[in-house]
Amino acid sequence: MKYLKQLLIIFLATCIGEMMRFFIPLPIPAGIYGMVIMLLALITGIVKLENVKETGEFLIEIMPVMFIPPAVGLIDTWGLLSDIFVPVIVITVISTFVVMIVTGKLTDLLLSRSKGGADIE
């Protein structure tokens, strides 16, 4: 029953995000709204981390499984994608490295500030 309650809390944040996307005319995905709602709920203490931790960890663990349907969809539309395959691969590789570098540098910055300016090496 605990896991069902945790899942319902996460789904509620997702549902509120869907409603926000419907009512706010900005090109922001509903998932982003939902994550911001969950973040604000966690920061303000409306939702305690213990109330969603186990289910959140489970969802993160099974995340790779969620990529199977899009991968099958890409394989299914290979005829349409074959003309732009090389540019898509190049863009994917470059953007992956940019995201990894920016995330690493930002994490270093935040960790060094949280340690009172001590450099993490």
Q: pLDDT tens digits for 106-120?
A: 999 999 888 765 554
Nearest residue to 40 (alpha-carbon basis) of 6, 21, 13: 13
Looking at this protein, which amino acid is placed at residue 120?
I
Q: pLDDT tens digits for 89-112?
A: 999 999 999 999 999 999 999 998
Q: pLDDT tens digits for 6-56?
A: 999 999 999 999 999 999 989 999 999 999 999 999 999 999 999 999 999
Residue 13 has a pLDDT of: 95
Which residue intervals of 1-121 are DSSP H helices? 2-23, 30-44, 53-61, 68-76, 78-81, 85-114
